[in-house]
Structure formats: structure tokens, C-alpha cells
Amino acid sequence: MIDKTKFKKDLALVRKNAPLVHNITNYVAMNNTANALLAIGASPVMIHGQEEAADMAAIAGALVLNIGTIEGYWLKAMILAGESARAHKHPIVLDPVGIGATPYRAVACKEIIEKCAPAVIRGNASEIIALVKTGAKTKGVDSTDSSDDAVDSAKILAKNTGAVVVVSGPTDYITDGTRVECVKNGNPLMARVTAMGCTASAIVGAFVAVNPDAFEASVHAMAAMGICGEAAAEKAEGNGTMQLYFLDKMCALDDAMIDKYLKA
Amino acid sequence: MIDKTKFKKDLALVRKNAPLVHNITNYVAMNNTANALLAIGASPVMIHGQEEAADMAAIAGALVLNIGTIEGYWLKAMILAGESARAHKHPIVLDPVGIGATPYRAVACKEIIEKCAPAVIRGNASEIIALVKTGAKTKGVDSTDSSDDAVDSAKILAKNTGAVVVVSGPTDYITDGTRVECVKNGNPLMARVTAMGCTASAIVGAFVAVNPDAFEASVHAMAAMGICGEAAAEKAEGNGTMQLYFLDKMCALDDAMIDKYLKA
Amino acid sequence: MIDKTKFKKDLALVRKNAPLVHNITNYVAMNNTANALLAIGASPVMIHGQEEAADMAAIAGALVLNIGTIEGYWLKAMILAGESARAHKHPIVLDPVGIGATPYRAVACKEIIEKCAPAVIRGNASEIIALVKTGAKTKGVDSTDSSDDAVDSAKILAKNTGAVVVVSGPTDYITDGTRVECVKNGNPLMARVTAMGCTASAIVGAFVAVNPDAFEASVHAMAAMGICGEAAAEKAEGNGTMQLYFLDKMCALDDAMIDKYLKA
């Protein structure tokens, strides 16, 4: 059961503090991610150069690492930034995009988890399952497993890594290995907008930058995503307008929208 | 004369099979391309790391190579992916963006064609002409030749390379060197939306992944592009809304839209 | 006081000549930038490969260098392109995104300014101040100083570098060290759309490609930005639709819109 008062408090904090969220993310998601962070009230930075990734992570409120279009140069930059964020006790969010698609992705995620100790790992069901059963295969970057099935894997992953694990899907599940919360808001059209999952990870970054309880922060971030997606879908006519109305709704998100939309 | 029944059958196959389309494309086009593929019902993947490009191409239904923001690292990744796709007999689509603009682009395209043997090459008139007459110059990445003039070059290129060649323009021409089909749908506003050509190449990738006849697949893909562009332009007020309504229409594309819009 | 007749003349020239604007810019901004350039009537090219950056800059009407997602490879490409543009007497626009955020950015900008001699430098107040007082720190890439405060810094920077300096903000200031012009059009929602500043730099590139007086060209470009932003904000409901309506308005920009919106 999501605590509305705490959710509203975190949203107010994001809007008031405008936390600097440092993203080392994929090319597809960068523009959407930056706009979603601006819409929720955060201050996005996309910096991946090995010359400066650690410097940036040292001063940002949170770091979001996303392996969507990973390659060796970027992985090294992620490690540099992640180790810096860790040293400064800034929370890290890991998005293991398409981890089951190729062996390299599994290796990359393993290195990031070991060296950077993410506070939150967010993926779809296939990705979370693949992170646990390293032999698992996914079909590209879209999910072929249901998020419900992934809850057990999420708990194991949370216990193994110490991270809060978020499984996105028609119902989102958030667990720290003991507690499990679910977010029932959302709309199927969200899955047809590219980088919507990556955007969710970035929004988790904004909330975890203002609330040190990564479990609560993740629940609130996913609830914000679901509410805005649901509200946007009311007038969207396809994934084109959906993408834009989603951002508009994230700009508009307030206590009244939470009261109207949040599913208990 | 486009065979409506075959077109509808291919569209239904794309929606049913959700083919995995692997794109190594330019930074400008990635987001649009991914959304267009999701809109038509395909499953897009953008993966270019040399560590995994070949692995990904081995399991995807089609590979789309686009040189828009090429550099040495990416060219090598394209070759790795292309040779892998070729070995697995997966069709490859090449988009020679702005090939006449610099000598490097001509060298890159030549290497891709020789090593990867694309099933389809799609470009605007200037690009197709430049691919044939390697001395030809284009002005940046926008077309300065009409697609009608490029038909002869397209036939020669098709015969030389064994690829189906698509020339985009107010009228699109598709040829395998012998057959020539044209698509008369579309709207001038499409040319003012960046990466619309790149999107066309990706949509060709979706169709060629479900129909092994690359000529038919290309005709159907270009007809889908033209219909959606035409429908979107009815309410677009500039290239901003055009971009979004185009995606919405691609989500909505069905037999009724084909019946309403397709020009014989 | 902005000269409307000269502004209209420059706009007509951009639409008529369709100047080729070569951008080496950041990943976040590329799509927006390309669409904005197409909307205003220019012909955008995004080319950064070290193999061809100098070749492209040699034939483009203007070069826009933007350090938003800089790394060593890209910096070298910018220098190659910038030296080529300089040798061919093509104007260069520098956008020192987030220059105060890390030491590397200051080093990169210094090298670009020394080797490429930009005709225009455009940034927000924090960035322009940081460029002068190299010890200054900014918070990420969003501005924490007001553009009014930055005018003195802008004048100093203009005198030190020989460049026209543009300070974006609620009021934009443009100076060549002696003359100062201001643009009062715009809307606060523009600051919530990512890469809006980067887009302004690209539009400056379009105008400076048709008007050799970089001061006038910059004033007209910023006025075009402000007018389109103001017109778009009339119907936008958040940063999602704002982004799109802005492009639509830039397509529609004409003498009548200038007469209606331009603030004296």
C-alpha cells in the first residue's frame, strides 16, 4: 500500500531541490530522459567522457547507468563515474537494458554491480530474471516474461546485491528483498514508446536523490511514471503523441493528480 | 501496380511476428527509428558495440546499417554485424546517408556493400546517383536530384550489387534491376522531418524480416511510409507535430487505411 | 532596438539559400537541432568522424560546435572541423554547454577558442561567466545566474576573443564588446525543454551563414527563437508539446509573425 503522504512529500522535494541527476545512458533514451527529468523538476546532466565522468558524479545527487548502447569506452566511463559516486555516497541506479541479448551485457552488468554497488536496479521482467539466471536469454530489449513471474528473481537479486530491485510491467514490483510493493498504474501504450523504461530509471534517480530510503524512492518514482502514463494515454492516439503527453503530464503532476489516479 | 492483398499480408505478419530489427544507425535517427519500428509492430534493437554487434546480428530478423554519423569505430561494428547477418542469411538494409558529401562515405559504403551484400539499398535520388557515379557530389544529406532521374542509376546499382534499390522522393521507386515499382503516396512535409529517410530504411528492415522477397517487402514498406506520412500531414501544422502524428498513424495503420489511402 | 527590416531580410535569405549548417553537437540535442534547422529552412548536417569532419566543414556555410557530451575523440573532431572552417573563412558558433561543471570542459573550450576563433559564442549566464572567470562553478548544465548579470562578462569575453557573445535567458543579450542588443521575446517553458539552448546555437549558425555581420545574425537568430517559443507556449501544456509546437512555429515563422510578436 503506497503511502500517499510520503509520495507527495518526495515529489515536493524533487520540485524544490531540483536534484542534479547524472546520466550515462543510451543514445536512444537521452533526449526523452532529459526532458522527463526536467518535467519532474530535476536537473539532468548527460556526461560520459572518461576525462570528466568521475568529476561529474562527485557533485551530482544521483547517478543513472544504462547499458542500452554500451561499448567498451562507455563501460569504462560508467565504472569511473560509479566508483566516484560510490566514494561520495551518492546513490546509483542501474538499468540492465537487454541484458540477456548478448554475453557482453551480462559481463558489463556484473562489473558495474560489483564495482559500483547500485542502490537500485530497474528492469523489465526478462531483464531481472536474466540478471539472476545468467544463462537466461531475452529477445532483444523488449520483455517476454511477465513482471509477476519475476518477483522471486527480484527478491533474490535484491538479497544478492543489496540493491532495491524494480520490475517494470503492467504491474510494477519493487522489493528490497524483504518488503514488496506494487504499482498498478500505467497503460499498455507506454510499452510502445521507446526508452520508457530508461525514463523510469532516470526518474528513480531523481527520487533517490531526495529520499535516502531507496525502496520508498523507487516506489514513488514508479507511481509517478504510472500515473503520468495513464493520464497521457487518455488522449494519446499512438506512440507519437503518447511520448509528448507523457512529458506534459509529468510537468503537471501534483497532489491532485496523485489523489485522482493513484491505485491503492 | 502494388498488390494490396500482399501488402496487407506483410503488414499482418509484421504485427504478428514482431520481428527483431537490429539497427546500427546514426545518433539523429535512433529515437525516431525505434519508435517507428515499435509503431509498425516490430521489435527494435540499437546495438553497435564491437563486443556484441555480431552476436546481436546473429539472432535478429534483419539488420539495418545507416552511415549518417559514421566514424571508424562504427564502420567496423557495421562490418562485424553485417558479416554475421550475412553468414546467418539475415537480410541487410543499407542507408548510404549523404554518401556524396565526403570521400570517406563512399569508401565506407563500398566496404559495406562488398563485405555484407545488402539485400536492399535505400537512399534519396542524390545518394543513389552518387553510389553509382562515385564522382558525384551531393549537398549535405538532403537530396538535390529528383527521384525520377535516379531510376536509371537505381537499375544499374541493383544489377551491380544484387540488391533491391529504393529511391525515396515525391514518388518512390523500387527496383531489383528488372522490375520497377513506384509508390505515389507521401507528403512534402515528410522531407522537413529529420531522419524520415532513415526511418524508411528501418521500416524496410521490418518488412524484409517477414517477407524474403526483398522487392515486395521494400514496396510494402515504402507504401506504409507514404500512407502514414500522407495521413499525418492532414492535421500536422509543421515538422514538429508531423513527426508525432506520423508515429500515431503508423500505430493505427490497418487494412482500412490501406484501402483509403493507397494510390494505384 | 531590433531592425525589423533587416531581420525579415535575413529570414528570407535563410529560407531562400537553405544554408548547409554543419553541427558537431551533443547526443541529446542532435534530433531537435536538426529539426529546428529544417524548420527555419536551413539544411542540417551532423558529421563528427575524424575521417571527414574537416572535409564537411570545408563545404558547409557555418559550423556549430557544442560540447554537451564532449570526450577526447569528439574534441579532436571539433578542432579538425574548426580549423578547416576557419581556413575557409566559414563562421563558427561555439556552445560551451555546462563549462563550469568540470575542469575538462574549460580546457576543451579554451582549445576550441584558441584554434578555431569562433565568430559567435552562445551560452546561458552561468556559462558565459564561467568562460571568463575560469574559476567559476556552475550546477550542471542549467543556469544559476541571471543573464542580466552576465552582460559585463559577455563584453569582456567578446573583447578577449573577438567573438560576438550571446547570453540566453529571460532576456537575451547579444554583444560584440561595444554594441549590446537585447531580445525580450521568449517564455519560461523554453527552459524546461532539453537542448533548447543548443537549438539556439544551431539557429545562430543558420543566420550567420547568410549574414556576415555576426552581431546582426545573432540578434535575428535569438529573436526568431524567442518569437517561436512565445507563440508555441500559447498552446503548449508542458515541455512535451512545447518541443513540438516550437518546431511548428519555426516552420510557420514569417513577416506577419515577426510583426505580431517582436518586442521592441
Q: Does B107 touch chain A (CB under 8 A)?
A: no
What average pLDDT does range C47-61 have in this prediction?
A: 98
C34: chain A residues, CB-CB within 8 Å = none
Distance between CA atoms of residues B165 and C128, nearest Å: 50
pLDDT at residue C148 above 90?
no
Question: Tell me, what's the pLDDT at C134?
Answer: 62
Distance between CA atoms of residues B74 and B232, nearest Å: 33
The pairing of strands A20-24 and A172-175 is: unpaired
What average pLDDT does range B134-157 have in this prediction?
A: 72
User: How many other β-carbons are positioned within 10 Å of the β-carbon of residue C230?
Assistant: 22
Question: Tell me, what's the pLDDT at C141?
Answer: 66
Coil vs helix vs strand at B24: strand
- Is the ipTM above a cut-off of 0.90? yes
Distance between CA atoms of residues A23 and A53, nearest Å: 10
For residue C230, CA distances in Å to A130, A136, C184, C202, C235 come to 48, 51, 10, 19, 10
The DSSP H or E segment spanning B264 is none
More confident residue, A82 or A264: A82
Coil vs helix vs strand at B5: helix
pLDDT at residue B136 above 70?
no
The DSSP H or E segment spanning A251 is helix A239-252
Q: Which residues, 6 or more positions from B192, have their beta carbon under 8 angstroms from its beta carbon?
A: B238, B239, B242, C38, C39, C251
Of B28, B69, B237, the CB nearest to C248: B237
Distance between CA atoms of residues A70 and B48, nearest Å: 8
User: Are residues A101 and B59, on separate chains, in Cβ contact within 8 Å?
Assistant: yes
The DSSP H or E segment spanning C173 is strand C172-175
Q: pLDDT-derived band of residue C264, with 50, 70 and 90 as boundaries?
A: confident
What residue ranges in B57-194 does DSSP mark as E strands? Answer: 62-66, 92-95, 120-124, 164-168, 172-175, 180-183
Nearest-Cα residue of chain A relative to residue C143 = A43
CATH number of domain containing A41: 3.40.1190.20
Count the alpha carbons within 13 Å of C78 in the hemisphere toward its beta carbon. Answer: 32
Q: pLDDT-derived band of residue A141, with 50, 70 and 90 as boundaries?
A: low
What residue ranges in chain B does DSSP mark as E strands? Answer: 20-24, 43-46, 62-66, 92-95, 120-124, 164-168, 172-175, 180-183
In Å, how far from its chain's centre is CA B239? 20
Pick from B132, B196, B190: which is nearest to B165 by CA?
B132
Binding-face residues of B in 60-99 toward A, CB within 8 A? 60, 73
Q: Would you call B209 exposed, middle or buried from its count of C-beta atoms within 10 A (0-12, 13-18, 19+)?
A: buried
Please, which chains are in contact with C (at least 3 CB pairs closer than 8 A)?
Answer: A, B
Q: Phi/psi of residue B207, each to 5°?
A: -75, -35
pLDDT tens figures, B162-174? 999 999 999 999 9
C239: chain A residues, CB-CB within 8 Å = 35, 38-39, 247-248, 251
Question: Tell me, what's the pLDDT at B138?
Answer: 47
User: Are residues B140 and C38, on separate chains, in Cβ contact within 8 Å?
Assistant: no
Q: How many CB pairs under 8 A join A and C?
A: 104
Testing the interface with C: which of B25, B26, B28 to mutate, by most C Cβ within 10 A? B28
pLDDT tens figures, A170-214? 999 999 999 999 999 999 999 999 999 999 999 999 999 999 999
Expressed as residue numbers, the domain containing A44 is 4-261
pLDDT at residue C136 above 80?
no
Question: Tell me, what's the pLDDT at A264?
Answer: 74
Distance between CA atoms of residues A60 and A251, nearest Å: 22
Distance between CA atoms of residues A147 and A129, nearest Å: 10
Q: Does B146 touch chain C (CB under 8 A)?
A: no
DSSP annotation of B50 reads T
Rounded percentage of chain B residues whose pLDDT exceeds 90: 92
pLDDT at residue B145 above 90?
no
Q: pLDDT-derived band of residue A147, with 50, 70 and 90 as boundaries?
A: confident
What average pLDDT does range C209-225 have in this prediction?
A: 98
Q: Which residues of A127-138 are buried (b: 16+ CB within 10 A; e: fewer)?
A: bbbbbbeeebeb
Nearest-Cα residue of chain A relative to residue C138 = A59
Q: Does B236 touch chain A (CB under 8 A)?
A: no
Question: Tell me, what's the pLDDT at A149?
Answer: 77
For residue C37, CA distances in Å to B189, B194, C62, C184, C225 come to 14, 9, 12, 22, 11
The least confident of A25-39, B107-121, C128-142, C243-257 is: C128-142
Q: Does C211 touch chain A (CB under 8 A)?
A: no
Question: How close B170 gets to chain A, by Cα (Å)?
Answer: 23
- In the chain, the amino acid numbered C130 is A
Distance between CA atoms of residues C72 and C128, nearest Å: 23
Q: Does C34 touch chain B (CB under 8 A)?
A: yes
Q: pLDDT-derived band of residue C106, with 50, 70 and 90 as boundaries?
A: very high
Q: Which residues, 6 or more positions from B114, have their beta carbon under 8 angstroms from its beta carbon?
A: none
Arithmetic mean of pLDDT over chain C: 95
Rounded percentage of chain C residues whose pLDDT exceeds 90: 92
pLDDT tens figures, A240-258? 999 999 999 999 999 999 9
Cβ pair B190, B143 in contact under 8 A = no
Cβ pair C104, A49 in contact under 8 A = yes
First vs last Cα of chain A: how many Å apart?
6
Q: Does A105 touch chain B (CB under 8 A)?
A: yes
Question: Tell me, what's the pLDDT at A138?
Answer: 47
User: Are residues A30 and C32, on separate chains, in Cβ contact within 8 Å?
Assistant: no
Q: Does A101 touch chain C (CB under 8 A)?
A: no
Q: pLDDT-derived band of residue C250, with 50, 70 and 90 as boundaries?
A: very high
What average pLDDT does range C160-178 have in this prediction?
A: 96
pLDDT at residue B194 above 90?
yes
In the numeric block, the cell 492532414 is attached to: B234
- In the chain, the amino acid numbered C34 is A
| pTM assigned to the model | 0.95
Residue A43, C-alpha cell as written in the block: 536537473
Nearest-Cα residue of chain C relative to residue B27 = C27
Task: Calculate ∠ Cα A203-A205-A206, nearest 5°.
Answer: 65
Count structural domains, chain B.
Answer: 1
Arithmetic mean of pLDDT over chain B: 95
Testing the interface with C: which of B25, B27, B245 to mutate, by most C Cβ within 10 A? B27
Q: Does A103 touch chain B (CB under 8 A)?
A: yes
Q: Does C248 touch chain B (CB under 8 A)?
A: yes
What average pLDDT does range B79-89 have in this prediction?
A: 98
First vs last Cα of chain C: how many Å apart?
6
Per the DSSP assignment, residues forming a β-bridge with C122 are C166
pLDDT at residue B37 above 50?
yes
Q: Would you call B122 exposed, middle or buried from its count of C-beta atoms within 10 A (0-12, 13-18, 19+)?
A: buried
What average pLDDT does range C121-127 have in this prediction?
A: 96
Q: pLDDT-derived band of residue C90, with 50, 70 and 90 as boundaries?
A: very high
Question: Tell me, what's the pLDDT at C133?
Answer: 77
Q: Name the region of B123 (left: φ>0; alpha: ψ -120 to 50; beta: rest).
A: beta
Per the DSSP assignment, residues forming a β-bridge with C182 are C173
Of C69, C105, C139, the CB nearest to A48: C69
pLDDT at residue B201 above 80?
yes
Coil vs helix vs strand at B47: coil
A252: chain C residues, CB-CB within 8 Å = 237-238
